[in-house]
Structure 1
């Protein structure tokens, strides 16, 4: 029996990269998936690919920074599709300005990153809270190795702070929602080759090498490397797991 049969899973930031891979993997395991993204075309194309492969998928536009929009899309899904039982908070951005960079850039980085990476996780989770409690659902938040460390490459301190926040939010919700039967966990990716970091990987190969030199497996990850951990945390395989983070970083944090 497929791991996620009879589940309705919502994935944010699902137009590309990790979110798209997770949505596709969930559909292969029997879930009906709803792909949410500001990139409407990308999300629609990904949903169509899932349907073409025999899966069940829908897509909607969503700006996770807009609380009202999160509430509206949650109501739309409840009315038109069904009761959500799995939520993956994947939408996120990164910037690489140092704290000592141009003041305007640093302030904008902080505001933009926190709005999407942390406030967005709150907005979406709160919007879907009732169906998740009703279904004794599962929440999977995409954290980072930077939920623990600030990596030794050009990187915005706002990103590190936001991902520390995602892990703290995960643990707080796990403690509170466990009595409702809702499990809340996180995944901590290392360097994953996605469109989000494609430009910096192309223009700054030394940055990539710095990561690889610190990664025992000696390679960058692919979006598909995050699918297995996500399936584990969303399925009954992890029925007694909550408040945890599964690291998918090639061993980065071991050295």
Structure 2
């Protein structure tokens, strides 16, 4: 039997990269998947790929920074798809301005990154909380190796802070929602080859080398490398797992 049979899963940031891969992986494991993304056309294209492969998928355009829109989409999903039992908070952005860069740029980075990476996780989780409680559901948040430290590469303090926040939010919710049967966990990707970082990878080979020099597996990850952990955490295989983060970083934090 597929691991996610009879589940309805919502994945944010599902038009590309990690979110798209997780949505497809969930569909292969029997879940009915709803793909959400600010890029509505991209989300629908990803949903169509799932349907073409024999899976069940719907899509809706959503800007996770807009709380009222999150509430409205949650109602549409409830009315048109059904009761959500799995939520993946994947939508996120990254920029690499340091704190000592142009103050206006630093402020914009902080506002934009927090609005999507942290407030967006809050907005979507709150919007879908009622069905998740009713279903004794599962929440999977996408953190980062930077949920722990600034690692060895230059990165914006806003991004690092946001991903620390995602891990803190994960642990706080796990502690609170466990009595309701809801499990809350996170995944910590390392350097994953996605459209989000394509320009950086192409234009800064030195940065990629820093990552590879500290990655025992010796390669960057692919979005599909995050699918297995995401399936595990959403499935009954992880029935006694909550409040933790599963690192999918090629061993980066080991050395």
Number of the residue aligned with 2:254: 254
Distance 1:105 1:153 in 2: 19
Q: Which runs of 5+ in 2 are unaligned?
A: none
Q: Deviations over 1:159-212 (max 9, x none)?
A: 000000000000000000001100000000000000000000001111101000
Q: Deviations over 1:27-71 (max 9, x none)?
A: 000000000000111101000000000000000000000000000
What secondary structure does 1:247 align onto? strand
* 2:122 is the counterpart of 1:103: no
Distance 1:98 1:200 in 2: 15
Number of the residue aligned with 2:36: 36
Number of the residue aligned with 1:142: 142
Distance 1:149 1:60 in 2: 34
Q: How many aligned positions are there?
A: 255
In the TM superposition, residue 149 of structure 1 has moved relative to its aligned partner by 1.2
Number of the residue aligned with 2:14: 14
In the TM superposition, residue 154 of structure 1 has moved relative to its aligned partner by 2.4
Number of the residue aligned with 2:69: 69
* 2:209 is the counterpart of 1:209: yes
What secondary structure does 1:170 align onto? helix
Number of the residue aligned with 2:189: 189
What secondary structure does 2:6 align onto? coil
Distance 1:45 1:195 in 2: 16
Bigger mean CA offset, 202-211 vs 149-158 = 149-158
Aligned CA RMSD, in angstroms, stands at: 0.5
Q: What's the TM-score, normalizing by structure 2?
A: 0.99
* 2:191 is the counterpart of 1:164: no
In the TM superposition, residue 247 of structure 1 has moved relative to its aligned partner by 0.3
Distance 2:152 2:114 in 1: 21
Number of the residue aligned with 2:238: 238
Distance 1:153 1:249 in 2: 14
Runs of 4+ in 1 over 6 A off after TM superposition: none
Distance 1:14 1:20 in 2: 4
In the TM superposition, residue 152 of structure 1 has moved relative to its aligned partner by 2.1
What secondary structure does 1:121 align onto? helix
What secondary structure does 2:59 align onto? strand
Distance 1:173 1:151 in 2: 26
What secondary structure does 1:185 align onto? strand
Distance 2:176 2:58 in 1: 31
Distance 1:40 1:213 in 2: 38
